[in-house]
Amino acid sequence: MMALAGLFLVLFLLVHLGINLTLILFESSRVFNIAAHFMATNILIKIFEVILFGGFLIHVLYALIVQVQNWLARPKRYRVMNFAQTSFFSKFMIHTALIILTFLVIHLVDFYFRSKFGNVEEVTYDNIRYYPDLASMVIARFKISGYIIFYIICFLFLGFHLLHGFQSAFQTLGINHKTYTPFIKVLGVIYVFIIVTGFTAIPVVVYFTR
């Protein structure tokens, strides 16, 4: 369950990145605002949103259960720790997860809940309809240097988390073979590079150009 929920969130990150990249790929914020409005109002997306939150809660819940089970299985630590069979990133999965969870709560308060329940200014395109100007809200945040630094650091931790989690999810699902595993590991590294580079580039570009 944790592996499936994790892979589900992996796909969501790609979609989220694609929408956010429109902030720097287009001079106008029009594409971003229209895409954000579509994501917020389309009935299928709203159903997907519920599934997304459910997937995240399942991922967090099972992660906590597994971690507690590991602690209970060995309440007394070894005198000498042997990490020969443990990757560097897997040793700190629970630590990076807590940092990511903290960031996500702040991120939801800053953007999601403000867009749902706060007062967001609206813009008109082609004199047809009004759209919540979410782009201006995001750009305003990305003009704060301290916020950008915090944002980038959190995505670096997310990258560390994904480097182990991506391959580990497939292994948990039974896809662990000398032919497939090396490919999955390389695919995981490429995926993490795209996610971390993309999400960290957006605030930097916005800060210096918008």
100 lies in some domain: yes
Does 92 map to a domain?
A: yes
Q: What is the pLDDT of residues 175-192, one digit of tens each?
A: 777 778 888 889 999 999
Answer for the pair 203, 148: CB distance below 8 angstroms, yes or no: yes
| Integer Cα distance of 65 and 71 in angstroms | 10
Backbone angles phi, psi at 3, to 5 degrees: -65, -45
**Cross-strand bridge partners of residue 130:** 124
Whether residue 7 has pLDDT greater than 70: yes
Report the domain count for the chain. 1
Going by pLDDT thresholds of 50, 70 and 90, the confidence category of residue 74 is low
Q: Is residue 66 part of a domain?
A: yes
Q: Tokens standing for 194?
A: 């795209």
Across the range 65-93, mean pLDDT stands at 63
Q: Which residue range forms the structural domain that includes residue 42?
A: 2-76+87-209
- Residue 81 belongs to a domain: no
Question: What's the chain's Rg over C-alpha atoms?
Answer: 19
Q: What's the token pair of residue 24?
A: 């720097």
- The residue that leads in pLDDT, 89 or 9, is 9
The 10 Å Cβ neighbour count of residue 71 is 11
